[in-house]
Amino acid sequence: MGLWRGSACAGFLALAVGCVFLLEPELPGSALRSLWSSLRLGPAPPGPLSPEGRLAAAWDALIVQPARRWRRVAVGVNACVDVVISGVKLLQALGLSPGSGRDHAVLHSRSDLEEAFVYFMGKGAAAERFFSDKETFHDIAQTASEFPGAQHYVGGNAALIGQRFAANADLKVLLCGPIGPKLHELLDDNVFVPPESLQEVDEFHLILEYLAGEEWGPFKAPHANRFIFSHDLSNGAMNMLEVFVSSLEEFQPDLVVLSGLHMMEGQSKELQRKRLLEVVTSISDIPTGIPIHLELASMTNRELMSSIVHQEHGRSKTRSSDLTRIHFHTLVYHILATVDGHWANQLAAVAAGARVAGTQACATETIDASRVSLRAPQEFMTSHSESGSRIVLNPNKPVVEWHREGITFHFTPVLVCKDPIRTVGLGDAISAEGLFYSEAHPD
């Protein structure tokens, strides 16, 4: 799957947990596939010395700046305004009643919305769906936007990652995507948007949040999470891809972050195939030597996911692209897998990504040990199908490293926020933070 790298630099891929089980990465010895099944999750044992506090302190000591830092980062191509609201309160305002939970790959009606929301709320799982009916979605969006307590935020993976990078004043950030007036107003001043990306109307995504233990009818959420839906045609067709690629020559980035492929799920199969081929062509036009990070999000379309994974571009012996880095996020642990010789400072990178998951969810500047819990596996085998070793978690040394067939794995637990303030954008913050602390070897 070597589609994401220039000849002199490494390409890399961050996978959301909902996608990873569809993958068959061509890594030596199937090293990644054997890992997922070996992890057994369990709560951290109670104790007077607070393993959470010790773990957070150990992270702080491990997280150091890379020797060679990014200077200019280009990010595209999905962007929108997130309208964040209580899911239960919105559905009540729409006059809906709790029924039987049922998943829908695409939402066609208010009834579909209610069924899909309670289906995932009952599991405490995040999900994102396309709403096919434009007029019905517009009515729901207007109700949500005007609802007391509704909040408007920067949304879309590209915009959120760009916003995170822009917090570093010495880093220049280019963002391409469908940027309307409200989103432009919300963006950090350090984010440069090319004029071709500006449009008169914003794309809105509705974020229906629920709290841990929140109930609606017979359903009770085991975890705090969110359900996202939209009728987003600009992002769905990746309309700003060509603008993004054409802007790179003048901007001269030393890192490219590409996201938004998951938004094509609402398109026809024919359009998906056509657009994906155009994505491959556009990526081929990115100057050799610029590392490319592909950010994936929640997906339900197995055929589209397989098309993304199994692209033949770059698989020949003369390929100019190699997959050399995977940053895998779950609620309770993160793993960074890198091909040896391509990356440095990954211990700090995986620790930084896990740390920001706890601080952003709890809306704190630093980890508050009283507000987070350690839920990662206390011990696990690095492989059940091959010769592996037993790993025992030590909060004083929270990043575990092991090697197999030319691949280095870094594992760290996550300190899960007990009462999260906002769950949206955690994956993007994790990816951005991990990238910020990563160093790509030029050869």
How much is the pLDDT for 118? 96
Q: How confident is the model at residue 187 (pLDDT cuts 50, 70, 90)?
A: very high
Check 82, 202, 368, 428 and give the catalytic one: 428
Which CATH number is associated with domain 11-81+156-199+233-440? Answer: 3.40.1190
Q: Report d(CA 277, CA 311) in Å as an integer.
A: 9
User: Is the pLDDT at 283 greater than 90, yes or no?
Assistant: no
Phi first, then psi, for residue 42 (nearest 5°) are: -165, 160
**DSSP of 254-296, one letter per residue?**
SEEEEE-GGGGGGS-HHHHHHHHHHHHHHHHHSPTT--EEEE-
* Mean pLDDT confidence for 207-228: 92
Mean pLDDT of 252-260: 93
Which of these, 261, 324, 308, lies nearest to 5 by C-alpha position? 324
Q: Would you say residue 144 has pLDDT above 80?
A: yes
Give the pLDDT confidence score for residue 310 in this predicted structure.
Answer: 65
Mark whether 428 is an active-site residue.
yes
The pLDDT mean for the chain works out to 84
Q: If you ran DSSP here, which 8-state letter would residue 349 be given?
A: H
Alpha-helical regions (H) of 310-387: 346-362
The residue ranking higher by pLDDT, 315 or 193, is 193
Against a cut of 0.85, is the pTM above it?
no
Q: Give tens-digit pLDDT for 293-309.
A: 988 876 667 777 777 76
Q: Do 280 and 312 meet the contact criterion of CB atoms below 8 Å apart?
A: no
